[in-house]
Amino acid sequence: MRVENSTVLITGANGGIGKAFVTELLHRGAAKIYLGVRDPQTVKSLLALSSRLAPVVLDVTNPAHIEAAAKAAPDVTLLINNAGAASFSGVLSAADAANARQEMEVNYFGIINLAQAFRHTPAFQNGGGVINVLSILAQVTLPVAGTYSASKAASLAITRTLRAEVKPRGVQVLGVLPVQADTTMGAALPEPKLKPAEIAIDTLDALEAGEEEVYPGALSQAAAQAFKADPAGLQAQFSTMVHAIS
């Protein structure tokens, strides 16, 4: 799928990765970009970049927001599910399951909610596309982010399911599996980290190349190669990080 002249809706547009996507989409000639955010005030600086940008109030867990967004953006050809939630806790280290539920609501059910709401838009017709921003933790679990890892594993599974459903009609579904990024959400995670721009550039390159999954940046590619070579060994390495994040 080509980005040039596309009409895009991106959720979580006010985050570090979201902003990087917007910048790169503009650079590649997207015709219009809907900025899905809970508070439009958080994208005021982005809106100053181009008249091709339009804010859409969108909490991916709010049915009323989702319905309104689908009505406001019926011309979307590329849907980018980028909104995310992370609590950085394990099972016994969490006081209760509230954060785990929120991660599933945003990271997993958010993808389902948006797919169902936008199923009749051009994004889900021949030539359309969907990008789901996942995590390498969909494949290997980090105990200090155990419930987040679980939500991303579920998100990877539903991404592959959605791809199988829509591939016959000519729709591309791209799963993005980065390692930790240099963003506010990833501030507590250890270095080294990916730059958000690396994620955006490599992801859109993969989209335009017709790929199904991408590990953006050299760090993600190294992790993917390690997982492919010795998944149990990589999991053992990650499993030592039980108390690394305070």
The catalytic position among 34, 108, 148, 215 is: 148
DSSP labels, 205-244: HHHHTT-SEE--HHHHHHHHHHHHH-HHHHHHHHHT-SSS
Q: Among this protein's residues, is 108 annotated catalytic? A: no
Encode burial over 48-67: b for 16+ CB neighbours within 10 A, e otherwise: eeeeebebbbbbbbeeebbe
- Which residue has 């390498």 as its token pair? 136
Q: Among this protein's residues, is 34 annotated catalytic? A: no
Helices and strands, number each (H, E), in the chain: 9, 7
Per the CB < 8 A criterion, the answer to whether 61 and 36 are in contact is no
- Is residue 207 classed exposed, middle or buried when 0-12, 13-18 and 19+ CB atoms within 10 A define those classes? buried
Distance CA 198, CA 216 (A): 7
Sign of the torsion formed by the C-alpha atoms of 192, 186, 175 and 70: negative
The catalytic position among 32, 152, 193, 215 is: 152
- Which residues does the annotation mark as catalytic? 148, 152
